Amino acid sequence: MAMQETMLVARASAAPAEIRQDEGRGCLFHPIVDFLCLGGGSLILFALLAVCRPPVSSYPVVAVVMLALANIINHPHFAHSYQIFYRGFREKAFGQHYDPVLRLRYVFAGILVPLALFVYFLGAVLLQDLQGLGFAVNLMLFLVGWHYVKQGYGMLVVCSVLKRQFFSEAEKKVLLINAYAVWLADWMVANWAVRAHDIWGLAYYTFELPEQLVILAMAVGVGSTAAMLWMLARKWWGEGRRLPINGTIAYLTTLYAWLLLNVDPLFLLVIPACHSLQYLVVVWRYQLNADRDRAERAKTAGAPGTERAFGWFATRPALRFSGFLAVGIVLGYLGFWGLPDLLSAAVAVDEAVFGPTLFLFLCWLFINIHHYCLDNVMWRRGNPDTGRYLFAHR
């Protein structure tokens, strides 16, 4: 996973004509797989951690394990967004296939945002502006919450489309407003309670917020939660006890378990992996469908093309998908570890000011912030690829 009427926000009341869905399936992969990956598995894990909580002295071991898992779960989830976003970027940004507004979004997220981030970070480093870098971390955390709740909302909408258990526009507004309210309350409380923190050796800074504003945000969050639960209860009873269960679990888990439990250092270590797994199950479904579609088109294109090595590869979706996964793992490692190590060896910085992990800090920050901007374009309702590939079970 960050997205405005997004990810995963296909219009539930009018699925695109490109959707070719096996209506009997009603899930991304399998009901149990969807339950475990979309949020249910994290609830089981949290319960086990609460009952069998390891001692604080073992937290470094947990952190090492989670960093190892990051190379096959967290980091590929970021890399996959780059793979999908920049595939055919020239046509997406400057061709005629996409809507003009969507093309502008591709230019903004794909060119202007990374350029602006690069200039900002370069200026902060040259000016030795540690507070500027610290506020950039706060921006990342602000976007993290937004990204989480929009992804949770998107998962619910996706599951409702797959199961043909649609939400009305009014019901979706209740869900979306509640997602925003809970996210803002959580972010405000974090800023109000913490003045400075440390990430990779550099401090990040929070904003001073009036206590009355924080209390108001909490009250709005509680009120919107009550309205959301009432709406779900009415829908459950009014439609014959039918709800997209896995999507509802994803929505509730993302908004409440992942946002509210991240104050606990132990849960904070595992929540990013849970979020990434939720994202991956959707991306993998999208990519599998895209690879099948491209393989069929390659076969239809004619025998001459399919006789070549790349043509042979193109007609085998399993190989294409395996390549997609492998590239994601490699890109994830390079972006989060390889590139920072290379920059640290090639560029001298004043470690007395920035510490020894400046480039690790900058690369992680850049990728996280840019990722949310990419997702906001890729998974929005107006993107034709979403309906064509995300819901195309064949």
DSSP summary character for residue 18 = T
In 239-264, alpha helices (H): 245-252, 259-260
Q: State the 10-residue block means of pLDDT for the chain, 394 residues long.
A: 42 38 67 94 90 82 79 90 94 91 96 96 90 81 84 91 90 94 86 56 59 89 96 88 90 90 78 90 92 77 49 66 93 94 90 85 92 91 83 59
Residue 377 and residue 93: Cα distance in Å, rounded?
11
The single residue listed with the structure tokens 């780059």 is 82
The pLDDT value recorded for residue 193 is 61
Q: Report helix angle 113-126 to 130-162, nearest 10.
A: 160
pLDDT of residue 188: 83
pLDDT at position 91 is 92
- At 106, is the secondary structure helix, strand, or coil? helix
Domain positions in the chain are 31-48+69-390
Enter the tokens of residue 44: 């089981």
Q: What is the predicted pLDDT for the residue at 337? A: 93
Identify the pLDDT of residue 211. 80
φ and ψ at residue 286, rounded to 5 degrees? -60, -50
Q: How far is CA 110 from CA 75, 84, 268, in A?
A: 19, 12, 30
Burial 147-172 (b: 16+ CB within 10 A, else e): bbbbbbbbbbbbbbbbbebbbeeebb
The pLDDT of residue 319 is: 84
> How far is C-alpha 322 from the chain's CA centre?
21
Rounded to two decimals, the pTM is: 0.81
Is residue 201 left, alpha or beta, with left meaning phi > 0 and alpha meaning psi from -120 to 50?
left
Place of tokens 């195309």: 392
